[in-house]
Amino acid sequence: MPDNTKPTQAEQYPPIGNFIHYHIMQQTQTKSSIAQAMGIGSKGLRDYFKKDSLQFAVLWKLSLILKHNFLAQLGEYLPYRFETIQEKALKKELAAKNDYIHKLEIQLETLKEMINK
């Protein structure tokens, strides 16, 4: 018996075809040059625009050709937050710099007190 229940919001995913079509429309490259770089025909690229999902390899190629990280962009729509390796490194660097600034502020206050005495 087929399951006719609607997917929950967490189970739904954004239609990938719309994503790539919108981004391609913002590009200066022509659709035919993008299709050629992917090794497909223009009709094949247009067919991608109609799809709700695409293979990982297609998204990967498009990301490289268009110099746009579709995978990260789509990840932003997940119902939970995921930190990349670079984000974790930046957070660690930011925390270290904030600690250093805090130490400098303490030193500055100490120097101000010494000058005012």
Shared domain for 95 and 52, answered yes or no, is: no
**What's the CA gap between 112 and 117, in Å, rounded?**
9
| Chain mean pLDDT for the chain | 87
Residues spanned by the domain of 75: 11-81
Any idea what the CATH number is for the domain that residue 74 is in? Answer: 1.10.260.40
Shared domain for 69 and 23, answered yes or no, is: yes
Stretch 3-29: mean pLDDT: 77
pLDDT one-digit tens code per residue, 61-116? 999 999 999 888 888 877 777 788 888 999 999 999 999 999 999 999 999 999 98
Shared domain for 70 and 49, answered yes or no, is: yes
Query: How far apart, in Å, are the Cα atoms of 65 and each of 17, 29, 58, 75, 86?
Result: 16, 10, 11, 19, 22
**Residue 36, in any domain of the structure:** yes
The stretches of 50-84 forming alpha helices (DSSP H) are 56-66, 70-75
**Residue 21, in any domain of the structure:** yes
Structure pTM? 0.62
Shared domain for 16 and 47, answered yes or no, is: yes
**Residue 109, in any domain of the structure:** yes
The stretches of the chain forming alpha helices (DSSP H) are 16-25, 31-38, 42-49, 56-66, 70-75, 85-116
In the chain, the number of structural domains is 2
Compute the CA torsion angle 82, 88, 90, 91 (nearest 10 deg): 90
